[in-house]
Structure 1
Amino acid sequence: MAQSPATAPDARAIPGMAERMAACTVCHGKEGRATADGYYPRIAGKPEGYLLHQLQSFRDGQRRYPMMNYLLANLSDDYLQQIAIFFAAQHPPYPPPVTTEASATVLERGRQLVTTGQPAQRMPACAACHGDGLGGVAPGIPGLLGLPKDYINAQLGAWRNGERKAKAPDCMGEIARALSPEDINAASSWLAAQPVPPDYRPAAAPPKPLPAQCGSMGPAVSKPVTMGATP
């Protein structure tokens, strides 16, 4: 797969961050591109605001994973910003998706949830917030492609169980709680099976108002929607 065009260097970045990020790349892979372990996500190319918020959440204990909590415990906001700047600027090529064992029925269910949602239950599609190409939206919405199925499953489960939270209103928590375990498996199976295009990047802004209020994006780009329960 061809590599995406390089982005211009960020004038805010400090020198030597690649060497300083050795502790991160042990788990997240070279340049943050992820490894074969299904529980460590790719962080390369994610929106800077999203990365910063996650780093702060781990540091402050709002998001729990012992290794991350320990590594970030004493870091300043300025340094976390530098980490976010560094990884947001990395765009190494994505590997081909891992062959899925999901059935055609499960994959079709996942495709529907991701691309069209459940209109009858007022459940928005993943693409309504994460972008038509699922590449994410700056400053706070991450891309969904190129992530391991196990990681997606674990995060949706954490949102659903209240173990992972975001700035209020927590739209992901509300959406995840409306998904059944079967829905989560279908969506993660379909997402993990999709190839990633060479020009995969976060959009600069949402093309239209988001279908739900999300604290990570602010009220100016979202509108309220009452989520319905899954059938």
Structure 2
Amino acid sequence: MLPDTLEQRIKACTACHAGKERSDAFFPRIAGKPAGYLYNQLLNFRDGRRQYPLMTYMVEHLPDAYLREIAAYFSQQHPPAAPARPSAAAAAVLERGRSLVTLGDPAKKVPACIACHGEQLSGLAPAIPGLLGLPRDYINAQFGAWKNQVRQAHTPDCMAEVASRLSDADIAAVSSWLGTQVAPPGARPATTITRPLPLKCGGVPE
């Protein structure tokens, strides 16, 4: 008889979000993400705001309390960071990506990614995810889902707003630069806000 433990019950999760968490375009790294963010995403899959049939099938009948338990478990896992991925993007593209991530683009009313996701891009507890360790193709796919309204969140949907202001070239630049970055050892989501968030987001508690 299999043990009735959370580790045993979430093997369906780790079958795709593997222990080493070397994420790809379909299965991102979820270890170490803030529990509130992970819980919100499980709700979004369950309630139809995010579209991925396998995820919907996995969570469509699970109660809120169990989703919170799953989210809390993965938030406490911290496997080593994946190695840096080289990029074939031109130097000018990578510099545009770095600039958007660290400075934003005031002319387009696009805030810097670090303004919400943290100076180290490791996220902000309880509900803003880190961005390091995600591959270029996954980031591109998520921006495309926001622009096409396939991925949604509780209103106001701040990421859909940001995505609508970015060109395809901007998105490629951001994803190319982020895809080459590696989380520093011991990086964890920040627990305090050092300055007001530039956008209101429905998934972030007031």
TM-score by length of 2: 0.94
How many residues align? The count is 203
1:16 maps to 2:5: yes
What SS does structure 2 have at the residue aligned with 1:175? helix
1:141 match: 128
Between the aligned partners of 2:23 and 2:30, the Cα distance in structure 1 is: 14
1:179-218 aligned within 5 A: 179-218=166-205
Contact preservation (8 Å) 2:23, 2:134: no
Percent identity of the aligned residues? Answer: 55
Cα distance change of structure 1 residues 36 and 145 upon mapping to structure 2, 3 Å threshold: closer
Contact preservation (8 Å) 1:27, 1:35: no
Tell me which stretches of 4 or more aligned residues in structure 1 moved more than 4 Å. none
What SS does structure 2 have at the residue aligned with 1:28? coil
Between the aligned partners of 1:169 and 1:195, the Cα distance in structure 2 is: 30
2:74 match: 87
Q: How big is each residue's C-alpha offset from its partner over 1:130-154, in whole Å with a ceiling of 9 and x where there is no partner? A: 0111111111100000011111110
2:53 match: 66
1:132 match: 119
Between the aligned partners of 1:165 and 1:97, the Cα distance in structure 2 is: 30
By how many angstroms is 1:216 displaced? 1.5
Structure with bigger RCO (C-alpha 8 Å, 6+ apart):
2
By how many angstroms is 1:205 displaced? 2.5
Contact preservation (8 Å) 2:122, 2:183: no
Contact preservation (8 Å) 1:47, 1:88: yes
1:35 match: 22
Between the aligned partners of 2:36 and 2:77, the Cα distance in structure 1 is: 15
Contact preservation (8 Å) 1:58, 1:64: yes
Structure 1: gaps spanning 5 or more residues: 1-14, 221-231
Contact preservation (8 Å) 1:39, 1:148: no
Between the aligned partners of 1:198 and 1:19, the Cα distance in structure 2 is: 28
Q: How big is each residue's C-alpha offset from its partner over 1:63-96, in whole Å with a ceiling of 9 and x where there is no partner? A: 1100000011111101101100100000011121
1:51 match: 38
Contact preservation (8 Å) 1:161, 1:177: no
Between the aligned partners of 1:208 and 1:217, the Cα distance in structure 2 is: 15
Q: How big is each residue's C-alpha offset from its partner over 1:24-51, in whole Å with a ceiling of 9 and x where there is no partner? A: 1111111xx4236432100000000000
Q: How big is each residue's C-alpha offset from its partner over 1:85-117, in whole Å with a ceiling of 9 and x where there is no partner? A: 100000011121211111111100000000000
Between the aligned partners of 1:106 and 1:145, the Cα distance in structure 2 is: 18
1:112 maps to 2:99: yes
Cα distance change of structure 1 residues 133 and 37 upon mapping to structure 2, 3 Å threshold: closer
Aligned-pair Cα RMSD in Å: 1.3
By how many angstroms is 1:165 displaced? 1.0
> Which residue type is aligned with residue 20 of structure 1?
R
By how many angstroms is 1:18 displaced? 1.7
